[in-house]
Structure 1
Amino acid sequence: MADSYMDFTSPNTQFTYTLSDNPFFQKDAQNVINTLSINQLNTLGNVSLLDIFLSKDNVVEPHIHQNATELVYCITGGAVVSLINPYTKELLNFTIAPGQVANVPQGWWHYEVANQDNTHLLAIFDAPVPEVIFGSDILRLTPANVLAHSYCLDEAKVKDTLAPITDTVIIGPPASCSKQHPNGMPMQQMMNHGGMNMAQMAPGSYQQAIQNQTYHYPYRPISGESESYNAPLDHPFHPIPFLYRRWD
């Protein structure tokens, strides 16, 4: 039973909670994520949720939940839920409006982009505390020489492109980033057509944006290794510290 651990006669039994009392991340007043897990409401069992508020073209950055399936429910506004099917190698884009849902299977790469202001989403998980691996962590913590060698890329260009990503993004783009692509295509439309092409953005705009806005949240390595490493991140023998975070 999901709640077999719970002594419902205990005076510590919790049945209600105010989601705004547990903010996980805030980019600004319109882009906020609150979270509810068993750590806040001890009668939950194997369920948890994120309370997500987004303004138009803001994105919950690409990520995976390695321990849970995610059901995204639209309350107000609208969003595009995009995911990669690992079996068919397809990028799938699902537009949801109020009253509609999109389901993301456990471990699938996905992201959500608001296509309207005042978008409010609930992300519901089949885990008491969902875990997450963010794309920005993978990009910034994998040594540039490993990426360059793996994919036959120019190492200097890889370093230059990824150097501004100094922390986890969570809700992108950063507040100081340009919201409009120079060719006039909205940010959300670019994401839905295969991703953002940073090389075509105004020179330095993306890099400067991320340098001006960084966030710090608790984390621990998946492997259980120490969070401190003596070798530089671009050292060829650096133990790549892929990190996961808990929405708790």
Structure 2
Amino acid sequence: MTISYMDYTNPNLTFTYDMRNNTVSKTNDQNYFNLLGYKQLPTLGSASLLDIFMSKGHFVEPHYHQNASELVYLVSGTVTVSMINPFTGKLISIPITPQQVVVVPQGWWHFEEATSDNTHILAVFDAPTPQVILGSDILRLTPTNVMAETYCLDEAQYKAAISPITQTVGIGPLDNCQKNRELDEFRSAEQEEAPPVGISAYGTAPHWAGTSVSGQPAFLYSQTPYRTQAPSYYPQPYFPQPTYGQMQGYAQPYAQQPTAFAQTYFPAYGQQPYSQQSTTQAAYANPYQFGAPQAPVGYR
């Protein structure tokens, strides 16, 4: 027990204090803590107290107290107290309910997670003022090259990962973190919905049909235009042809047949507009496909 040399005859001594007057960290109206120490109440002696309020999904960030042990007492709600035992190298996680306690030895790395709303914790310390080293300060103040070289990390990726940590946190996540997460999720959803550049010409055309993902005409990427669909009765790819002249945009070499070889086009019989040939034309293309000439029957 610490011996007190306080002059208790001093008329200015106080024996009470309203902790609402000393909020030392506040994330929002549901997540904050108040401190009572020697400076607030000199007659407190060698003890100090944190009055902690939290909502579900929030954490008292990872930290340690270099000068005090901590007794965690749960008033309401539910919380999980986690700490690393430096002697075994193991993480210990202890969920508690109201009126249960957890002790965190001096200097142990630990954190608390509220697992329900309206969580209220009292943290009692065996020191007049609890000293603390917070994880957010370690991450944002340690040079990124030191972390990268020490732990074999990609410095650029590590720097980007910790870039949101611009201040001491206390209870996290901070409100602006939620907004940033929602924005990141929205952007990720957009990227997932965007189809790849290479799309089959005969698939269902998306709402941006006729252009690539970059907004450029599809033919710049050697793609068949999306609006070209193959009718179900065509066994081969079908390329609509203009009434007169060649299709300049696609320049199909077989698009137009010479007028001399033009035949009637019957789509119902599955004929292709570019495959219509007269018998004479076919003979020129392959003179042997009809066999050798035969003599009339009367001369055999």
TM-score > 0.5, shorter chain as reference: yes
| Pairs within 5 Å for 1:69-88 | 69-88=69-88
Measured on the aligned residues, the alpha-carbon RMSD in Å equals 2.0
Match of 2:57 in 1: 57
Match of 1:90 in 2: 90
Q: Which amino acid aligns with 1:32?
A: Y
- Give the whole-Å Cα distance in 2 for the aligned partners of 1:39 and 1:204: 48
Please identify which structure carries the higher strand content.
Answer: 1
Please identify which structure carries the higher helix content.
Answer: 2
Q: CA deviation at 1:204?
A: 8.4
* Pair 1:175 & 2:175 matched: yes
Match of 2:67 in 1: 67
Computing the radius of gyration from Cα coordinates, the structure with the larger value is 2
- Give the whole-Å Cα distance in 2 for the aligned partners of 1:45 and 1:204: 54
Match of 2:44 in 1: 44
Match of 1:244 in 2: none
Query: Is the 1:3–1:44 Cα contact (8 Å) retained in structure 2?
Result: no
Superimposed CA distance per residue, residues 157-198 of structure 1 (whole angstroms, 9 cap, x where no aligned partner)? 11111122111111100113349x99xxxxxxxxxxxxxxxx
Q: Which amino acid aligns with 1:138?
A: I
- Give the whole-Å Cα distance in 1 for the aligned partners of 2:55 and 2:30: 6
- Give the whole-Å Cα distance in 1 for the aligned partners of 2:139 and 2:128: 28
Q: CA deviation at 1:78?
A: 1.0
- Give the whole-Å Cα distance in 1 for the aligned partners of 2:128 and 2:12: 18
Superimposed CA distance per residue, residues 63-111 of structure 1 (whole angstroms, 9 cap, x where no aligned partner)? 0000000000000111000000001111110111110001100000000
TM-score, with structure 2 as normaliser: 0.59
CA separation of 1:204 and 1:156: change in aligned 2, threshold 3 A: farther
Match of 1:129 in 2: 129
CA separation of 1:122 and 1:204: change in aligned 2, threshold 3 A: farther
| Pairs within 5 Å for 1:1-248 | 2=2, 4-178=4-178, 202=185
Gaps of 5+ in 1: 183-200, 206-248
- Give the whole-Å Cα distance in 2 for the aligned partners of 1:44 and 1:90: 35
Greater relative contact order structure (CA < 8 Å, 6+ sep):
1
- Give the whole-Å Cα distance in 1 for the aligned partners of 2:76 and 2:163: 36
- Give the whole-Å Cα distance in 1 for the aligned partners of 2:59 and 2:187: 21
- Give the whole-Å Cα distance in 2 for the aligned partners of 1:31 and 1:166: 19
TM-score, with structure 1 as normaliser: 0.71
Gaps of 5+ in 2: 189-300
